Structure 1
Amino acid sequence: MSTPDDTAPAAAFDDEAVLLIGHGSRREKSNRQVRELAADLESQLGIPVDAAFLELAAPAIDEAFAELATLTSRVTVVHCSLFAASHVKNDVPLAIERARARHDLEIDNGAHLGIHPAILDLLDDRARAVEDELGVDRTADDVAVVLCGRGSSDPDANGDVHKLARLLYEGRAFDRAEATFIGVTEPTLEDTLHGLSKHRPDAVVVLPYMLGDGVLTRRVRDRTSEFDGEYPYVDALAGDPLGTDSRLLDVLADRWQEARTDSVAMSCDTCKYKVDLEGYEEDVGGARAMLRALAHQEAHADRDDVDDEPHSHDAPEKHVAVCTNRTCADMGSPAVLERLRQATRDSEHCDARITRSSCLGRCGDGPMVAVYPDGIWYGDVEPADANRIVSDHLERERLVSDLVDQTL
């Protein structure tokens, strides 16, 4: 891990800050962990580090950028995300583009935590702690390790869970190693554990690959406990999540250094937003991916304790994105945005969210307004058209045909 002194004189850091972005939770304990990591990272780097959240906790990313813009001219974004899925690939870049448009800030965007030797060492220690509690030794007993991720709709992120499990297995004396998920995708933890029972290992060590000790971690423990009771000939126990272990600071510091030296490497060759992947054709990037990200930002909510799924979604019926990039802004899109918002507030039957967006890729045809999930794009929209879009399209599902630019 590099330190600031390795790369530049101290004066180069006088006008720089770091924004550590976490997911955000209704459970304040999880939010405190992100803030604790931010404080510890500030001590390690010797420059200001603020925490912000994608949702459900304060400050929001936009608010954090606005505050930092009064204090510094350069911000490096560091992600408190384990893998690169839609939040890292879409949501945060959108927030960064908004901040660049609104503030006089130089913003460097770092990578997610990802696969790192320090994380492998940390997982190995978590596994040894479980082995000690079970009274087994991987060098003498048949011990299987199961790495359990949250699960994602992004195959790139899910693939990295399998890679990490394999790296955890290589060079260590586990009898076998499996990757599995607690939700969203397969294989599920239940299926993986039942499959392992056929090999009759002496013990199964389940590692929740999560930062916080929240609902999903408890669910991993519950599923493991149920398996342990169902198969008395196999001892099974779930370990602790990553938490705020100091080794994570080394990973975060490396991601900061990569971002500020323009050496961030993302796995674009297997990113569903960049290339055609079988079964994910609808997610290829550009405007479609951006609109999906916008809708997810507005609709996404952390699960309630009584729910069965990690997240519940209570989306508005419509999401309207108004391009406020420079060209559209010069053509009057801010006025269109405000008129749409006012018309929506005045309506008694309109369930819609109106938000800004970055460039929709139709420069010169604006102001552009995109209505999701309908996939209708309106072009050359004037403020006077806002009432028609709301009353006809958003309330009565009738297209404003003379404004239609394209359909997705």
Structure 2
Amino acid sequence: MSSETAGGAAAFDDEAVLLVGHGSRREKSNEQVRELAADLERRLGVPVDAAFIELAQPAIDEAIAGLATAVSRVSVVHLSLFAASHVKNDVPLAIEQARAAHPDLRIDNGAHLGVHPAILDLLDARARAVEADLGVDRETDEVSVVLCARGSSDPDSNADVHKLSRLLYEGRAFDRVETAFIGVTEPLLDEALHDVARTRPDAVVVLPYMLGDGVLTGRIREGAADFDEEYPYVDAACGDPLGTDPRLLDVLSDRWQEARTGSVEMSCDTCKYKVDLDGYEADEGGARAMLRALTHQATHADREAVDDDPHSHDAPAHHVAVCTNQTCAAGGSPAVLERLRQAVRDSDACDARVTRTSCLDQCGDGPIVAVYPDGVWYGDVDDDDADRIVSSHLDRERIVSDLVHDTLQ
């Protein structure tokens, strides 16, 4: 959408846009959000301010309070790739609080970036840049793409990454386009790259599905470099993140129009906060989601008040890996996995992440559950034992001795 189609500034004298980014400890990433806000303002002919969910200033409430003195209407546009907890919980909570604080101000909430043709064009351009560097041509060489996203505990968000990969594949001459994640869920990047290597393509293009060039993007680059070194018969390289490419303005312009015209579409049929999904039963229900958002918000406020330093989503105290390879799966490890996740969610004292893993080379002694950084491996675990592992080991640092299979020093 051009500024001509959006209308001149005179048509929107009493309106502003608030572009909401996540926020980062890396000021370079925050500056990218502000740069996009300035570019969007030039595109729309409407004042555009930037705000952040966490880790940077101004916060959403502060930004809206500043706009409330100058305009009567604010459209919130999300600079989030997919709809997970921040989009579904944290930003809506901040908006509701702002509406209560500024009853005369109209605040319209928009959607996340999501799946959009302009993003597909941008990813295609990123892939072509890597192909040029590698000296390959997808029309004559076998080129595979691995699209690597952050990964989320929200299944609806992860599903959209797979959809984006499929749409990137359709109509283009790629041999394959696979989905991977750098954390939280599967398949992880390393696993996806090894699967692609079995097909012996001429080249593998790794595309980090990130906005900025931060820590996670660095891990993706390292993964691509390690893969390139390990497989000399495949040329592999990593592309650039989305950055501040002008094509993002096409997406943001559309999301602004949706917000201000009340035509925002969000998926509720597969949202874990709206429907009862297997493995996510504890998340279903708007009240629970809002309570988590309030707790998250309060945590930020407490840390900033005490330390003057907002938290950075540090690693959990424990990482619990459950083998779900063939032998352990036959012994019931999927049920153990879900029971552990549920017990962790139910615990008030537990700070742990529970993930599935491939073979731990202990076949016949499973299901195997490994707790790190403690280096304790539990064997022959059933789903009833999961509660004991959480309540004793994870909650109180007391090893469940009768389940110990091995300890790693």
TM norm structure 2:
0.73
Equivalent residue number for residue 311 of structure 1: 313
Equivalent residue number for residue 81 of structure 1: 80
CA contact (8 A) 2:21 2:78 kept: yes
3-state SS of the aligned residue for 1:146?
strand
Deviations 1:31-81 (A, max 9, x none): 000000000100111111000000010001111011111111100000000
Distance 2:64 2:314 in 1: 28
Q: How much is the aligned-residue C-alpha RMSD, in angstroms?
A: 2.0
Shift of residue 242, structure 1, vs aligned partner: 0.2
Equivalent residue number for residue 129 of structure 2: 129
Distance 1:203 1:159 in 2: 26
The change in CA–CA distance for 1:284 and 1:126 in structure 2 (over 3 A counts) is same
Deviations 1:305-335 (A, max 9, x none): xxxxx931689xxxxxxxxxxxxxxxxxxxx
Equivalent residue number for residue 153 of structure 2: 153
Equivalences for residues 3-402 of structure 1 within 5 A: 3=3, 6=5, 11-103=10-102, 104-299=104-299, 311-312=313-314, 373=348
3-state SS of the aligned residue for 1:37?
helix
Shift of residue 8, structure 1, vs aligned partner: 6.8
Shift of residue 295, structure 1, vs aligned partner: 2.4
3-state SS of the aligned residue for 1:312?
coil
The change in CA–CA distance for 1:242 and 1:34 in structure 2 (over 3 A counts) is same
Deviations 1:345-388 (A, max 9, x none): xxxxxxxxxxxxxxxxxxxxxxxxxxx959xxxxxxxxxxxxxx
Distance 1:180 1:124 in 2: 17
Unaligned runs of 5+ in 1: 302-309, 316-371, 375-408
Distance 1:81 1:7 in 2: 22
Shift of residue 292, structure 1, vs aligned partner: 1.5
The change in CA–CA distance for 1:155 and 1:314 in structure 2 (over 3 A counts) is closer
The change in CA–CA distance for 1:49 and 1:291 in structure 2 (over 3 A counts) is same
The change in CA–CA distance for 1:226 and 1:314 in structure 2 (over 3 A counts) is closer
Counterpart of 1:217 in structure 2: which amino acid?
T
3-state SS of the aligned residue for 1:127?
helix
Counterpart of 2:126 in structure 1: which amino acid?
R
Distance 1:269 1:225 in 2: 39
Unaligned runs of 5+ in 2: 304-311, 318-346, 350-409
CA contact (8 A) 1:212 1:242 kept: yes
- Aligned identity (percent) is 76
Deviations 1:141-168 (A, max 9, x none): 1100010000000000100000000000
Distance 1:38 1:9 in 2: 17
The change in CA–CA distance for 1:236 and 1:8 in structure 2 (over 3 A counts) is closer
3-state SS of the aligned residue for 1:268?
coil
Deviations 1:109-166 (A, max 9, x none): 0100011111100000000000010111111111000100000000001000000000
Distance 2:250 2:6 in 1: 16
3-state SS of the aligned residue for 2:145?
strand
Distance 1:160 1:73 in 2: 35
Equivalent residue number for residue 340 of structure 1: none
3-state SS of the aligned residue for 1:270?
coil
Shift of residue 11, structure 1, vs aligned partner: 4.6
Equivalent residue number for residue 377 of structure 1: none
3-state SS of the aligned residue for 1:51?
strand
Distance 1:241 1:166 in 2: 19
TM norm structure 1:
0.73
Counterpart of 1:259 in structure 2: which amino acid?
A
The change in CA–CA distance for 1:252 and 1:225 in structure 2 (over 3 A counts) is same
Distance 2:234 2:5 in 1: 50
CA contact (8 A) 1:144 1:203 kept: yes
Shift of residue 273, structure 1, vs aligned partner: 0.6
CA contact (8 A) 1:2 1:257 kept: no
The change in CA–CA distance for 1:67 and 1:313 in structure 2 (over 3 A counts) is farther
CA contact (8 A) 1:299 1:313 kept: no
Distance 1:312 1:134 in 2: 36
CA contact (8 A) 1:2 1:254 kept: no
Equivalent residue number for residue 345 of structure 1: none
CA contact (8 A) 2:9 2:45 kept: no
CA contact (8 A) 2:115 2:164 kept: yes
Distance 2:315 2:205 in 1: 33
Distance 2:222 2:9 in 1: 49
Counterpart of 1:187 in structure 2: which amino acid?
P
Distance 1:259 1:28 in 2: 28
Counterpart of 1:85 in structure 2: which amino acid?
A
Shift of residue 291, structure 1, vs aligned partner: 1.2
3-state SS of the aligned residue for 1:195?
helix
CA contact (8 A) 1:142 1:201 kept: yes
Shift of residue 10, structure 1, vs aligned partner: 5.6
Distance 2:8 2:27 in 1: 38
Would you say how many aligned residue pairs link Structure 1 and Structure 2?
309
Shift of residue 9, structure 1, vs aligned partner: 7.7
Distance 2:47 2:164 in 1: 31
